[in-house]
Amino acid sequence: MTKLSVNINKIAVIRNSRGGNLPDVIAAARNIERFGAEGITVHPRPDGRHIRYDDVRELKKTLTTEFNIEGNPIDSFTDLVSEVIPTQVTLVPDAHDAITSNAGWNALKYAGFLQEKVVLFRKLGIRVSIFVDPDVAMVRGAADCGADRIELYTEGYASAYASNREKAIAPYVSAAEEAERLGLGVNAGHDLNLENLRYFIERIPFVKEVSIGHALISDALYFGLENTVQMYMRQIHI
């Protein structure tokens, strides 16, 4: 069964816009768990513009579901993950000034770097996922690096869904099937929402986890956080 991991970065953005601790990111994460989500995702960046490194440390103390930390494994990120020991680390090739994730790894070009990080994190007992585009070659590269899972970057699917959902999903099905053949778990994330999520899960029912933040937190402005979490859960538990 696919798990829902809620990315809480946007809650931290609101807090940081005014200073202080409103909204309380830690309390929000606990509530999201209580409302039924099966994981919490954070993507700390060095400039601390949303989730901060200290948030990550505090979340580790209180979360009861799976904790997924994603980001570019620069030295400071690597040190943080090694200290906190989350359930999962997702390696994402973000530039330091990226607004949001906008591409997967070239798992062939950066194979040596990724393999080094995979070995380090797995020795610590952390499950490792590599963020990739829906490209069979990149899936194979991630497998060669020793990853446990891949996370498929789903912006392309989400952008094309309204015009031709069958065409939009096709490369994701191929990539996911190759991952399953190679023994990799499949996660997915980026721009998944209440409109396109169910079809994605119907076509790739063995997806282990979807990580959703921007759309879910935005929907919560209209529907309330508890109701929104449960609405997303109903999309994936079909």
CA–CA dist 31, 8 (Å, integer): 11
Active site residue 70: yes
Question: What phi, psi does 88 have (nearest 5°)?
Answer: -145, 145
**Known active-site residue 43:** yes
* Long-range Cβ contact pairs of 54-61 (< 8 A, separation 24 or more): 55/12, 55/25, 55/26, 56/80, 56/84, 57/83, 57/84, 58/26, 59/25, 59/26, 59/29, 60/84, 60/85, 60/86
- Residue 202 appears among annotated catalytic residues: no
* Residue of 43, 66, 151, 209 with catalytic role: 43
Pick the catalytic residue: 50, 66, 190, 209? Answer: 190
Distances (CA, A) of 232 to 2, 77, 110, 148: 11, 30, 34, 25
Catalytic hit among 33, 50, 66, 70: 70
Token output for 210: 């979807």
Tokens matching residue 192: 């998944």
* Per-position DSSP letters for 145-212, written without gaps between them: TT-SEEEEE-HHHHHHTTT-HHHHHHHHHHHHHHHHHTT-EEEEESS--TTTHHHHHHHSTT--EEEE
Known catalytic residues are 43, 70, 190
